[in-house]
Structure 1
Protein backbone atom coordinates (compact mmCIF):
# COMPACT_ATOMS: atom_id res chain seq x y z
CA UNK A 1 0.00 0.00 0.00
CA UNK A 2 1.39 3.38 -1.01
CA UNK A 3 1.72 6.11 1.55
CA UNK A 4 0.50 9.36 0.04
CA UNK A 5 1.20 12.95 0.92
CA UNK A 6 -1.62 14.92 2.44
CA UNK A 7 -0.52 18.49 3.08
CA UNK A 8 0.53 20.53 0.06
CA UNK A 9 0.78 18.08 -2.79
CA UNK A 10 -0.52 19.78 -5.91
CA UNK A 11 0.38 23.35 -5.00
CA UNK A 12 2.43 25.43 -7.41
CA UNK A 13 5.73 24.91 -5.56
CA UNK A 14 5.55 21.12 -5.47
CA UNK A 15 4.24 20.96 -9.05
CA UNK A 16 7.09 23.18 -10.22
CA UNK A 17 9.64 21.15 -8.26
CA UNK A 18 8.49 17.88 -9.81
CA UNK A 19 8.38 19.46 -13.27
CA UNK A 20 11.96 20.67 -12.82
CA UNK A 21 13.02 17.27 -11.46
CA UNK A 22 11.61 15.54 -14.54
CA UNK A 23 13.47 17.98 -16.80
CA UNK A 24 16.69 17.27 -14.90
CA UNK A 25 16.17 13.53 -15.31
CA UNK A 26 15.51 13.98 -19.03
CA UNK A 27 18.72 16.02 -19.32
CA UNK A 28 20.57 13.28 -17.41
CA UNK A 29 19.31 10.70 -19.91
CA UNK A 30 20.15 12.88 -22.91
CA UNK A 31 23.71 13.49 -21.73
CA UNK A 32 24.05 9.78 -21.02
CA UNK A 33 22.90 8.97 -24.55
CA UNK A 34 25.37 11.49 -25.97
CA UNK A 35 28.11 9.85 -23.91
CA UNK A 36 27.23 6.39 -25.22
CA UNK A 37 27.08 7.70 -28.79
CA UNK A 38 30.49 9.32 -28.33
CA UNK A 39 31.91 6.02 -27.10
CA UNK A 40 30.49 4.31 -30.20
CA UNK A 41 31.95 6.95 -32.53
CA UNK A 42 35.33 6.73 -30.81
CA UNK A 43 35.34 2.93 -31.13
CA UNK A 44 34.28 3.15 -34.78
CA UNK A 45 37.07 5.67 -35.45
CA UNK A 46 39.62 3.25 -34.01
CA UNK A 47 40.20 4.93 -30.66
CA UNK A 48 40.53 2.84 -27.55
CA UNK A 49 37.38 2.16 -25.56
CA UNK A 50 37.01 -0.06 -22.54
CA UNK A 51 34.24 -2.37 -21.35
CA UNK A 52 33.77 0.02 -18.42
CA UNK A 53 32.97 2.85 -20.80
CA UNK A 54 30.48 0.74 -22.76
CA UNK A 55 28.73 -0.78 -19.76
CA UNK A 56 28.48 2.40 -17.75
CA UNK A 57 27.66 4.35 -20.88
CA UNK A 58 24.67 2.06 -21.43
CA UNK A 59 23.49 1.76 -17.83
CA UNK A 60 23.24 5.46 -16.96
CA UNK A 61 20.93 6.52 -19.82
CA UNK A 62 18.89 3.37 -19.20
CA UNK A 63 18.27 4.63 -15.66
CA UNK A 64 16.56 7.79 -16.90
CA UNK A 65 13.18 6.15 -17.68
CA UNK A 66 13.28 4.38 -14.31
CA UNK A 67 13.97 7.66 -12.52
CA UNK A 68 11.18 9.37 -14.48
CA UNK A 69 8.75 6.67 -13.38
CA UNK A 70 9.81 7.10 -9.75
CA UNK A 71 9.44 10.89 -10.07
CA UNK A 72 5.95 10.43 -11.56
CA UNK A 73 4.94 8.21 -8.65
CA UNK A 74 6.36 10.75 -6.20
CA UNK A 75 4.47 13.54 -7.95
CA UNK A 76 1.36 11.43 -7.46
CA UNK A 77 1.92 11.48 -3.72
CA UNK A 78 3.76 8.23 -3.02
CA UNK A 79 6.10 8.85 -0.09
CA UNK A 80 8.26 5.81 -0.81
CA UNK A 81 8.92 7.03 -4.37
CA UNK A 82 9.65 10.54 -3.07
CA UNK A 83 12.12 9.17 -0.54
CA UNK A 84 13.76 7.03 -3.22
CA UNK A 85 14.19 9.89 -5.71
CA UNK A 86 15.56 12.09 -2.92
CA UNK A 87 18.13 9.44 -1.93
CA UNK A 88 19.14 8.54 -5.48
CA UNK A 89 19.57 12.18 -6.50
CA UNK A 90 21.93 12.65 -3.57
CA UNK A 91 24.01 9.48 -3.88
CA UNK A 92 24.22 9.09 -7.67
CA UNK A 93 26.20 12.27 -8.45
CA UNK A 94 28.68 11.47 -5.69
CA UNK A 95 29.11 7.91 -6.93
CA UNK A 96 29.46 8.89 -10.59
CA UNK A 97 31.99 11.62 -9.89
CA UNK A 98 33.85 9.51 -7.33
CA UNK A 99 34.42 6.65 -9.77
CA UNK A 100 35.35 9.00 -12.61
CA UNK A 101 38.03 10.63 -10.46
CA UNK A 102 39.88 7.33 -9.94
CA UNK A 103 43.04 7.68 -12.03
CA UNK A 104 43.13 5.47 -15.12
CA UNK A 105 39.50 4.35 -15.00
CA UNK A 106 38.41 6.43 -17.96
CA UNK A 107 39.72 9.16 -20.25
CA UNK A 108 39.16 12.78 -19.30
CA UNK A 109 36.56 13.44 -22.03
CA UNK A 110 34.49 10.52 -20.74
CA UNK A 111 34.76 11.72 -17.14
CA UNK A 112 33.63 15.20 -18.19
CA UNK A 113 30.54 13.87 -19.99
CA UNK A 114 29.67 11.58 -17.10
CA UNK A 115 30.22 14.46 -14.67
CA UNK A 116 27.81 16.63 -16.66
CA UNK A 117 25.16 13.93 -16.46
CA UNK A 118 25.71 13.66 -12.71
CA UNK A 119 25.39 17.41 -12.31
CA UNK A 120 22.04 17.26 -14.13
CA UNK A 121 20.65 15.11 -11.30
CA UNK A 122 22.09 17.20 -8.47
CA UNK A 123 19.35 19.90 -8.44
CA UNK A 124 16.80 17.21 -7.59
CA UNK A 125 18.61 16.59 -4.31
CA UNK A 126 18.06 20.23 -3.39
CA UNK A 127 14.49 20.43 -4.73
CA UNK A 128 13.42 17.44 -2.66
CA UNK A 129 14.71 19.04 0.52
CA UNK A 130 12.74 22.29 0.32
CA UNK A 131 10.21 23.32 2.93
CA UNK A 132 7.37 22.84 0.44
CA UNK A 133 8.42 19.22 -0.12
CA UNK A 134 8.89 18.58 3.59
CA UNK A 135 5.35 19.84 4.16
CA UNK A 136 3.94 17.83 1.26
CA UNK A 137 5.68 14.64 2.33
CA UNK A 138 5.67 14.38 6.11
CA UNK A 139 7.53 11.33 7.39
CA UNK A 140 5.09 8.45 7.92
Structure 2
Protein backbone atom coordinates (compact mmCIF):
# COMPACT_ATOMS: atom_id res chain seq x y z
CA UNK A 1 0.00 0.00 0.00
CA UNK A 2 2.86 2.37 0.79
CA UNK A 3 4.32 1.83 -2.69
CA UNK A 4 0.99 2.68 -4.25
CA UNK A 5 0.71 5.87 -2.12
CA UNK A 6 4.22 6.99 -3.15
CA UNK A 7 3.37 6.47 -6.80
CA UNK A 8 0.14 8.44 -6.39
CA UNK A 9 2.01 11.30 -4.66
CA UNK A 10 4.61 11.33 -7.44
CA UNK A 11 1.85 11.70 -10.06
CA UNK A 12 0.04 14.43 -8.14
CA UNK A 13 3.20 16.36 -7.33
CA UNK A 14 4.65 16.04 -10.86
CA UNK A 15 2.84 19.17 -12.03
CA UNK A 16 4.32 21.25 -9.24
CA UNK A 17 7.79 19.75 -9.68
CA UNK A 18 7.79 20.34 -13.46
CA UNK A 19 6.53 23.88 -12.96
CA UNK A 20 9.41 24.63 -10.56
CA UNK A 21 12.01 23.04 -12.82
CA UNK A 22 10.64 24.87 -15.88
CA UNK A 23 10.70 28.17 -14.03
CA UNK A 24 14.31 27.65 -12.95
CA UNK A 25 15.46 26.72 -16.46
CA UNK A 26 13.62 29.69 -17.96
CA UNK A 27 15.11 32.04 -15.38
CA UNK A 28 18.65 30.83 -16.09
CA UNK A 29 18.19 31.07 -19.88
CA UNK A 30 16.61 34.54 -19.58
CA UNK A 31 19.40 35.79 -17.36
CA UNK A 32 22.05 34.54 -19.75
CA UNK A 33 20.35 36.05 -22.80
CA UNK A 34 19.73 39.28 -20.89
CA UNK A 35 23.43 39.67 -20.12
CA UNK A 36 24.34 39.04 -23.75
CA UNK A 37 21.75 41.51 -25.02
CA UNK A 38 22.80 44.04 -22.38
CA UNK A 39 26.45 43.83 -23.45
CA UNK A 40 25.51 44.27 -27.11
CA UNK A 41 23.31 47.27 -26.33
CA UNK A 42 25.99 48.80 -24.10
CA UNK A 43 28.68 48.36 -26.74
CA UNK A 44 26.48 49.92 -29.42
CA UNK A 45 25.49 52.86 -27.20
CA UNK A 46 29.09 53.38 -26.12
CA UNK A 47 30.26 53.39 -29.73
CA UNK A 48 27.66 56.03 -30.63
CA UNK A 49 28.71 58.26 -27.74
CA UNK A 50 32.38 57.77 -28.60
CA UNK A 51 31.73 58.64 -32.22
CA UNK A 52 29.84 61.77 -31.24
CA UNK A 53 32.59 62.91 -28.86
CA UNK A 54 35.20 62.13 -31.53
CA UNK A 55 33.41 64.37 -34.03
CA UNK A 56 33.28 67.18 -31.49
CA UNK A 57 36.98 66.72 -30.79
CA UNK A 58 37.92 66.77 -34.48
CA UNK A 59 35.78 69.87 -34.98
CA UNK A 60 37.49 71.58 -32.04
CA UNK A 61 41.01 70.70 -33.24
CA UNK A 62 40.29 72.01 -36.73
CA UNK A 63 38.85 75.29 -35.45
CA UNK A 64 41.68 75.72 -32.94
CA UNK A 65 44.14 75.55 -35.81
CA UNK A 66 42.08 77.98 -37.90
CA UNK A 67 41.62 80.48 -35.07
CA UNK A 68 45.29 80.37 -34.04
CA UNK A 69 46.40 81.23 -37.54
CA UNK A 70 44.09 84.25 -37.59
CA UNK A 71 44.25 85.34 -33.95
CA UNK A 72 42.52 88.63 -33.27
CA UNK A 73 40.88 90.37 -30.35
CA UNK A 74 37.37 89.36 -31.41
CA UNK A 75 38.41 85.70 -31.61
CA UNK A 76 39.44 85.58 -27.94
CA UNK A 77 35.91 84.64 -26.78
CA UNK A 78 35.75 81.94 -29.44
CA UNK A 79 39.10 80.60 -28.23
CA UNK A 80 37.94 80.55 -24.60
CA UNK A 81 34.83 78.56 -25.50
CA UNK A 82 36.90 76.30 -27.76
CA UNK A 83 39.43 75.63 -25.00
CA UNK A 84 36.59 74.95 -22.58
CA UNK A 85 35.08 72.40 -24.99
CA UNK A 86 38.44 70.71 -25.47
CA UNK A 87 38.95 70.56 -21.71
CA UNK A 88 35.54 68.98 -21.20
CA UNK A 89 36.29 66.39 -23.87
CA UNK A 90 39.66 65.56 -22.29
CA UNK A 91 38.03 65.04 -18.88
CA UNK A 92 35.21 62.87 -20.26
CA UNK A 93 35.37 59.40 -18.60
CA UNK A 94 35.68 57.15 -21.66
CA UNK A 95 36.73 54.08 -19.69
CA UNK A 96 34.29 54.26 -16.76
CA UNK A 97 30.89 52.87 -17.78
CA UNK A 98 29.62 53.19 -14.21
CA UNK A 99 30.27 56.95 -14.07
CA UNK A 100 27.07 58.35 -12.59
CA UNK A 101 27.23 61.79 -14.26
CA UNK A 102 28.02 60.53 -17.76
CA UNK A 103 24.83 61.87 -19.33
CA UNK A 104 25.11 65.21 -17.53
CA UNK A 105 28.67 65.68 -18.78
CA UNK A 106 27.66 64.63 -22.29
CA UNK A 107 24.84 67.18 -22.25
CA UNK A 108 27.30 69.88 -21.13
CA UNK A 109 29.65 68.99 -23.98
CA UNK A 110 26.76 69.16 -26.45
CA UNK A 111 25.75 72.54 -25.07
CA UNK A 112 29.28 73.89 -25.28
CA UNK A 113 29.55 72.58 -28.83
CA UNK A 114 26.32 74.39 -29.79
CA UNK A 115 27.63 77.55 -28.13
CA UNK A 116 30.85 77.34 -30.12
CA UNK A 117 28.95 76.73 -33.36
CA UNK A 118 26.85 79.79 -32.64
CA UNK A 119 29.94 81.94 -32.06
CA UNK A 120 31.54 80.62 -35.23
CA UNK A 121 28.29 81.08 -37.18
CA UNK A 122 28.37 77.43 -38.27
CA UNK A 123 25.31 75.20 -38.65
CA UNK A 124 26.45 71.64 -37.82
CA UNK A 125 24.48 68.53 -38.66
CA UNK A 126 25.65 65.52 -36.67
CA UNK A 127 24.25 62.28 -38.10
CA UNK A 128 24.39 58.74 -36.84
CA UNK A 129 23.78 56.07 -39.45
CA UNK A 130 24.58 52.45 -40.20
CA UNK A 131 27.55 53.53 -42.32
CA UNK A 132 28.99 55.53 -39.43
CA UNK A 133 28.69 58.97 -37.98
CA UNK A 134 29.50 62.28 -39.45
CA UNK A 135 29.44 65.97 -38.86
CA UNK A 136 28.57 68.12 -41.84
CA UNK A 137 28.08 71.84 -42.36
Q: Give the shorter-chain TM-score range.
A: 0.5 to 0.7
Q: Which has the higher contact order (CA 8 A, sep 6+)?
A: 1
Please say which structure displays the higher CA radius of gyration: 2
Instruction: Answer 1 or 2: which has greater strand percent.
Output: 2
Contact 2:78/2:116 (CA < 8 Å) preserved in 1? no
How many aligned positions are there?
94
Question: Quick one: which of 53, 70, 76 aligns to 2:78?
Answer: 53
Confirm whether residue 85 of structure 1 aligns to residue 102 of structure 2: yes
How far did residue 96 of structure 1 move? 4.5
Can you give the 5+ residue segments of structure 1 that lack an aligned partner in the other structure? 1-6, 124-140
- RMSD over aligned CA atoms reads 3.1
Q: TM-score by structure 1 length?
A: 0.51
Query: Helix, strand or coil: the match of 1:73?
Result: coil
Confirm whether residue 24 of structure 1 aligns to residue 52 of structure 2: yes
Query: Helix, strand or coil: the match of 2:70?
Result: helix
Q: TM-score by structure 2 length?
A: 0.52
State how far apart, in whole Å, the 2-side matches of 1:100 and 1:8 are. Answer: 40
Query: Helix, strand or coil: the match of 2:95?
Result: helix
